[in-house]
Amino acid sequence: MATSGAGDHGQGQGQGHGRFASSLTARYSDWVLETLDELPGSFLLTDPALPGHPIVYASRGLAALTGYAPRDVLGRNARLFQGAATDRATVAGVREAVRAHRPHQAAILNYRRDGAPHWVLLHLAPLFHARDGTLLHFLAVQVPIAPAAVARGATCHTTGHLLAACRDEASRVAEDFPCATHAGKVFVDMDKRGLETEEPRVPSDSEKDMAISTANSIVSALNSYSKLTGLVVSRKRCDSIGIPALSSSLKLSLGRIKQSFVLTDSRLPNMPIIYASDAFTSLTGYSREEILGCNCKVLNGPGTSLEVLEEACTVDLLSYRKDGSSFCDHLHVSPIRDASGKVRLHLSQVAFHIWVHLDMGAKHDFSGLTPEKWLLGAVGAVRVAVRGLSASGSLLRPSQ
């Protein structure tokens, strides 16, 4: 049960609603609901481990947007927002994303509590346990999509303005909690005739930015409270179980290298990351607990050229940090060969590849070297560390 002071989520709930709240409080802390209540935006969290995949949290912004108070949706499936004119193909795409445990974004025609249809950008993101890859929750952010004419006339609006508008709307609805009938009335006088037959709306860049910003804030809030339970949340499924545990000697040698890099093991499925340098975690925002077991594609996003990555060893890519921000990534990928010139190191049966990342938009002290030589310096240092320990069989922990 949530602690008192958590708004509609913490007071006046029956045992059923308390069970849904415990889906969050048991994993994070008793105070996480209060923090989520303070976040702007329209969003909900569902628990796929419970029968029916029910909603276990609904924000105040969602009440403002849909007219449903949190107590009206807790325990119900998120399809309650769909209606007669909701596109079946769009719904099928959402369901497939849920089944595959992958993120998804789509424009969808939903319905408010008063029956009025409205277009929203649905931003769906699975939330995983960073250490073992367990699926914890699904996050669904809903951002209203403005008509094309309105969007063209509002190009000066920024994400901050949109968030402020949501906060203002949510505060008006909050005054009427626990009953959100006013939230339904907010939209009653809006002319929605013909909306069900109009062409699907296309979300603007600012609306997409708002969805990403809201999702980032939610994940940050969950992680800030999960420190009490040792749980780290990630939107990427990374399973560190089964990856080789490097020896303390190798980690010590690798820890002296200043460049941003990761090591991957190509003998394992999906070529997972088995080591990440301090500079890499600083550059990307991912902790080691989050990144170990992931494929390097964790940094990919809109605009990342996968074709270029497959065709060259040194490329310029658009990569993405954990917070969703992008950076120009000067990337060098190289196998780490043993003394005989083979990639596979026979004594350890580990096939290392090094991925060195350089943020071209940041200032660096290359000590008089070119960026290329700076990258190759990391490759050389890793090669020396690996070869020196491979001869004695000291790459992995003794238990490995």
Over 50: is that where the pLDDT of 172 sits?
A: no
Q: What is the DSSP string of 325-361?
A: -EEEEEEEEEE---TTS-SEETTTTEEEEEEEEEETT
Answer whether residue 21 shows pLDDT above 90: no
**Of the candidate ranges 32-41, 67-76, 151-160, 354-363, the one whose mean pLDDT is the lowest:** 151-160
| pLDDT, tens digit (0-9, with 9 covering 90-100), for 298-334 | 887 777 776 666 555 888 889 988 777 889 999 999 8
Model confidence pLDDT, tens digit, residues 190-234: 334 355 556 789 999 899 889 988 988 888 888 777 655 666 676
Q: What is the pLDDT of residues 234-285, one digit of tens each?
A: 666 665 656 777 888 888 889 999 999 999 887 777 788 989 999 999 999 8
- Weakest mean pLDDT among 25-39, 40-54, 87-101, 151-165: 151-165
- At residue 168, the pLDDT reads 45
> In angstroms, rounded to a whole number, what is the distance separating the alpha carbons of residues 79 and 124?
13
State whether residue 64 is helix, strand or coil: helix
State residue 335's pLDDT score.
Answer: 84
Closest CA to 301 of 324, 283, 279, 278: 324
Going by the DSSP 8-state scheme, the letter that residue 395 receives in this structure is S
CA–CA dist 397, 233 (Å, integer): 27
- What distance in Å separates the CA atoms of residue 115 and residue 352, rounded to the nearest whole number? 57
* Higher-confidence position of 146 and 165: 146
Per-residue pLDDT, 141 = 97
- Put simply, whether the predicted model's pTM sits higher than 0.95 gets the answer no
How far is 307 from 226, CA to CA, in rounded Å? 38
**Which residue would you say has higher pLDDT here, 180 or 92?**
92
pLDDT at 328: 94
In this structure, what token pair is assigned to residue 344? 């596979």
pLDDT in tens, 347-400: 344 568 899 999 999 988 888 888 888 888 888 888 888 876 765 555 665 444
Q: How far, in Å, CA of 59 to CA of 70, rounded?
A: 7
| 342 within 8 A of 349, measured Cβ to Cβ | no
The chain-wide mean pLDDT, for the chain, equals 77
